[in-house]
Amino acid sequence: MQVKDYIRTIPDFPHEGIQFRDVTTLFLDARGFRMAVDQLLHPYAGLRFDKVAGLEARGFILGGAIAHQLSVGFVPIRKAGKLPGKTIRQDYALEYGQATMELHDDSLSPGEKVLLVDDLLATGGTAEAGIKLIEKLGAEVISCAFIIDLPELNGRKRLEDLGMKVHALCEFEGA
């Protein structure tokens, strides 16, 4: 089996016309989960990272496992109001409106090398907000890793236009 085979599609969630790609079925299967983590790490063999940053919420699951494998720290990037202590903020556009991501202001040091992780790359807005937060603290995003890329939504191009390397395990057509 391939990673894509473990992912279920739920039609019309959270809105009519959306094909929701559900990675929780991948996380439920020990073999599938290990395969995904190993494949997410594969292109980075021999590279040094100081931290792994995960985007809320499924990026926490992946990011924690990857940080463990790399023996580095994990940095959560959360929706506004979820982190205690002093944070920095980055707004980003949603399909209808705006949202804000936050990062503890002491979670990264200048010059640290970071791998940014999430389950799915759609428009790239959340990932771009995460990149900007990391860079505000003087750290450097070496690459962005995702299980799923939705190429029709152009998130990969958006991140590559920012100079980012993007690694995704599989693609699904449609939004």
The pTM assigned to this predicted structure is 0.96
What percent of the chain has pLDDT above 70? 98
Give the Cα-Cα-Cα angle 115, 121, 125 (nearest 5 degrees): 90
- How confident is the model at residue 152, as a pLDDT? 95
Contact 63, 130 (CB under 8 A): no
Read off the CATH number of the domain in which 110 is found.
3.40.50.2020
- Domain extent for 162: 47-171
Within-domain flag for 4? no
Q: How many domains does the chain have?
A: 1
Within-domain flag for 69? yes
Within-domain flag for 26? no
d(CA 17, CA 134): 34
Contact 94, 125 (CB under 8 A): yes
Within-domain flag for 35? no
Beta strands at 8-11 and 19-22: parallel, antiparallel or unpaired: antiparallel
- How confident is the model at residue 173, as a pLDDT? 87
Indicate whether 42 pLDDT > 90.
Answer: yes
Positions annotated as catalytic residues are 58, 95
pLDDT band for position 175 (50/70/90)?
low
Give the pLDDT confidence of 70-122 residue by residue, as tens digits.
Answer: 999 999 999 999 999 999 999 998 777 899 999 999 999 999 999 999 999 99
